[in-house]
């Protein structure tokens, strides 16, 4: 029996979990949920009721980064764990994401939140000036754990984002968005409900 992944297509946390599972080549039963109408099975598996949730026979993993580490600990054919870069991922998951949420959803302090987020993006630009990816010559865990949130930031005001002095960051993001890797994790699936046929991810 395959693990069950509760996911929501556009959630950046769920997106990066799918990236790692696809890279690892670990098949899961994907259950697409709607955040406004959550399946009772999701609530039973994880009362916190946020995605992604990976339901394993012996435990439930409720955090996206933990799902990534679990998948890559099982299988890491692309060597993603060589680019773990914990300080960067901690910054993305912490100060950057907090500021991003204020920028995207806040009614006050939006300009300040955008500037706080931009401090991290300027660091990434400096890294990408001398390296094609965030931890070296290939796409690794650091990139996969960060890029879905950079995409979310860019989409808040894409016209503004594209005028900023970070051409290497923009190219890094655009290359990801144009990649088969991104296309494979963003296929649309209908909302899951009990009794539906199993949907395997990644697709065979």
Tell me, what's the pLDDT at 49?
A: 87
Judged against a pLDDT cut of 90, whether residue 204 lies above it is answered with: no
CB under 8 Å to 17, separation ≥6 — which residues? 5, 7, 52, 54, 64, 67, 68, 71
Domains of the chain: 4-77+187-201 (3.40.30.10), 80-182 (1.20.1050.10)
CB 94 within 8 A of CB 146: no
Mean pLDDT of 41-53: 94
Q: Tell me the per-residue pLDDT of 65-109, one tens digit each, with 9 for 90 and over.
A: 999 999 999 999 999 999 999 999 999 999 999 999 999 999 779
The pLDDT, as a whole number, for residue 182 is: 98
- The single residue listed with the structure tokens 């706080």 is 116
CB 190 within 8 A of CB 32: yes
| CB of 33 closer than 8 Å to CB of 6 | yes
């Amino acid at each position: 029996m395959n693990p069950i992944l509760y996911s929501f297509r556009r959630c950046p946390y769920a997106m990066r979990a799918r990236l790692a599972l696809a890279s690892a080549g670990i098949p899961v039963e994907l259950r697409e949920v709607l955040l406004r109408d959550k399946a009772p099975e999701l609530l039973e598996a994880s009362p916190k009721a946020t995605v992604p949730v990976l339901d394993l026979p012996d435990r439930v993993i409720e955090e996206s980064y933990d799902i990534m580490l679990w998948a890559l600990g099982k299988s890491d054919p692309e060597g993603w764990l060589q680019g773990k870069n914990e300080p960067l991922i901690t910054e993305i998951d912490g100060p950057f994401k907090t500021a991003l949420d204020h920028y995207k959803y806040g009614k006050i302090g939006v300009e300040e939140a955008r500037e706080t987020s931009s401090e991290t993006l300027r660091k990434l630009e400096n890294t990408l000036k001398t390296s094609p990816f965030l931890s070296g010559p290939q796409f690794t865990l650091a990139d996969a754990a960060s890029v879905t949130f950079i995409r979310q930031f860019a989409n808040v005001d894409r016209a503004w984002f594209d005028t900023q002095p970070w051409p290497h960051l923009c190219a890094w993001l655009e290359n990801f968005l144009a990649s088969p890797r991104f296309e494979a994790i963003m296929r649309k699936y209908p909302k899951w409900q009990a009794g539906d046929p199993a949907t395997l991810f990644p697709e065979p």
